[in-house]
Chain A
Amino acid sequence: MHNFEFVKPASIADAVKALAADGAQALSGGQTLIATMKQRLADPSVLVSLTGIAEMQGVCTGDGGVHVGGATPHAVVAREAAKLYPALAKLAGGIGDPAVRNRGTIGGSLANNDPAACYPSAALASGATIVTNKRKIAADDYFQGMFSTALDEGEIITSVIFPVPEKAAYVKFDQPASRFALTGVFVAKYASGVRVAVTGASNNGVFRWFEAEAALSGNFSAAAIAGLTVDASDMISDLHGTPAYRANLVKVLTGRAVSAA
Chain B
Amino acid sequence: MPKDHGIGASSKRREDVRFLTGRGVYTDDIALHGQVHAVMVRSTVAHGRIKSVGTARAAGMPGVLAVFTGEDFVAVGGNPAGWLINSRDGTPMREPKRPVLAHGKVRHVGDSYAAVVAETYEQARDAAQAISDDSEIEDLPAVVNMAAAVANAGNRVHDEIPDNVCFDWGWIEDNRASVDAAIKAAPHVTVLELVNNRLVPNAMEPRASIGEYFPGTGDYKLTTTSQNPHLTRLLVAAFVMGIPENKLQVVAPDVGGGFGSKIYHYGEEALVLAAAKKLARPVRWTAERSESFLSDAHGRDHVTRIELACEKDGTFIAFRTETLANVGAYLSNFSTATPTFLHGTLMSGPYKVPNVYVNVKTVFTNTAPVDAYRGAGRPEATYSIERVVDMMCRELGLDPFEVRRKNLLTPDQFPYQSPVGLMYDTGNYQATLDKACAMADVAGFEKRAAASKVKGKLRGMGLSTWIEACGIAPSNLVGVLGSRVGLFDAATVRVNATGNISVMVGAHSHGQGHETVFAQIVADKLGIPESSVEIVHGDTAKIPFGMGSYGSRSLSVCGTAMDKALDKIVAKGKKIAAHMLEAAEGDITFADGKFSVAGTDKAKTFGEIAFSAYVPHNYPLETLEPGLEETAFYDPANFTYPAGAYICEVEVDPDTGRVEVCSFTCADDFGNVMNPMIVDGQVHGGVGQGIGQALLENAHYDETGQLLTGSFMDYAMPRADDVPFYNVDHSCNTPCTHNPLGVKGCGEAGAIGSPPAVVNAVIDALQRGGHTHVTHIDMPVSPSRVWAAING
A interface list, Cβ under 8 A from B: 1-3, 38-40, 173, 176-179, 182, 238-242, 244-245, 248-249, 252
Contacts and interface: CB of A to CB of B under 8 A. Distances in A.
B788 A239 contact: no
B656 A249 contact: yes
A18 B354 CA distance: 78
A34 B153 CA distance: 45
Nearest to B785: A245
A242 B792 CA distance: 13
Contacts of B126: 2
A39 B290 CA distance: 9
B716 A177 contact: yes
Contact of B788 (A1, A39, A242): A242
Contacts of A40: 129
Interface string B421-453: 000000000000000000000000000000000
B715 interface: yes
Contacts of B782: 176, 240
A252 B655 contact: yes
Given A176-B716, A177-B716, A248-B656, 6 more contacts: A3-B122, A173-B658, A178-B714, A179-B719, A242-B784, A245-B657
A199 to B, nearest CB: 16
A137 B538 CA distance: 62
A177 B787 contact: no
A177 B129 contact: no
The 6 closest A-B pairs by CB, nearest first: A177-B716, A176-B716, A178-B713, A241-B784, A245-B784, A252-B655
Contacts of A2: 126
A177 B715 contact: yes
Contacts of A239: 698, 700, 708-709, 714
Question: Which DSSP category, helix, strand, loop or mixed, fits chain B's interface?
Answer: loop
Contact of A177 (B122, B657, B712, B791): B712
B779 to A, nearest CB: 13
Contacts of B363: none
18 contacts: A1-B122, A38-B288, A39-B290, A173-B658, A176-B722, A177-B696, A177-B714, A177-B715, A239-B698, A239-B700, A239-B714, A240-B714, A240-B782, A240-B784, A244-B788, A248-B791, A252-B655, A252-B656
B393 interface: no
Contacts of A252: 655-656
B84 interface: no
B712 A245 contact: no
B118 interface: no
B248 interface: no
Contacts of B717: 177
Contact of A245 (B700, B708, B709, B787): B787
A239 B783 CA distance: 11
A173 B656 contact: yes
Interface string B124-163: 0010010000000000000000000000000000000000
Given A3-B122, A239-B700, A240-B782, A248 B787 contact: yes
A242 B655 CA distance: 15
A39 B791 CA distance: 39
Nearest to A249: B656
Interface in B698-712: 698, 700, 708-709, 712
Contacts of A244: 788
Interface residues of B, number: 28
Interface in B285-300: 288, 290
A107 to B, nearest CB: 22
Interface centre among A182, A241, A245, by most B CB within 10 Å? A245
Contacts of B698: 239
Nearest to B658: A173
Contacts of B788: 242, 244-245
B513 to A, nearest CB: 28
A2 B122 CA distance: 8
Nearest to A252: B655
Interface string B530-567: 00000000000000000000000000000000000000
A52 to B, nearest CB: 25
A176 B709 CA distance: 12
A176 B791 CA distance: 21
A127 to B, nearest CB: 28
Interface in B600-637: none
Contacts of A245: 657, 783-784, 787-788
B721 to A, nearest CB: 9
Contacts of B658: 173
B127 to A, nearest CB: 13
Contacts of B696: 176-177
Contacts of B712: 177-178
A230 B16 CA distance: 53
A20 to B, nearest CB: 27
A244 B656 CA distance: 12
A220 B123 CA distance: 60
Interface centre among A38, A173, A177 (most CB of B within 10 A): A177
Nearest to A173: B656
B457 to A, nearest CB: 14
A238 B129 CA distance: 29
Nearest to A246: B784
Contacts of A3: 122
Which one of B288, B712, B713 has the greatest number of beta carbons of chain A within 10 Å? B713
A250 to B, nearest CB: 11
A2 B712 CA distance: 23
A224 B212 CA distance: 71
A177 B784 contact: no
A4 to B, nearest CB: 12
Interface-central residue, A1, A176, A241, A245, by most chain B CB under 10 Å:
A176
Interface string B655-680: 11110000000000000000000000
A249 B722 CA distance: 20
B552 to A, nearest CB: 29
B695 to A, nearest CB: 8
Nearest to A253: B656
Contacts of A179: 719
A96 to B, nearest CB: 11
Interface in B1-59: none
A86 to B, nearest CB: 22
B656 A177 contact: no
A93 to B, nearest CB: 14
Contacts of B709: 177, 239
B386 to A, nearest CB: 24
A179 B718 CA distance: 12
Contacts of A38: 288
A244 B657 CA distance: 13
Contacts of B288: 38
Contacts of B791: 248
Contacts of A242: 784, 788
Contacts of B713: 177-178
Nearest to A180: B713
A210 to B, nearest CB: 23
Nearest to A241: B784
Contacts of B714: 177-178, 239-240
A222 to B, nearest CB: 11
Contacts of B783: 173, 176, 182, 241, 245
Interface string B751-792: 000000000000000000000000000000011100110010
| Of listed B696, B708, B709, B714, residue having the most chain A CB within 10 A | B714
A241 B658 CA distance: 12
A177 B712 CA distance: 6
Contacts of B715: 177
A71 to B, nearest CB: 24
A245 B783 CA distance: 9
Nearest to B719: A179
Nearest to A179: B719
A245 to B, nearest CB: 4
Contacts of A182: 783
A116 to B, nearest CB: 10
Contacts of A176: 696, 716, 722, 782-783
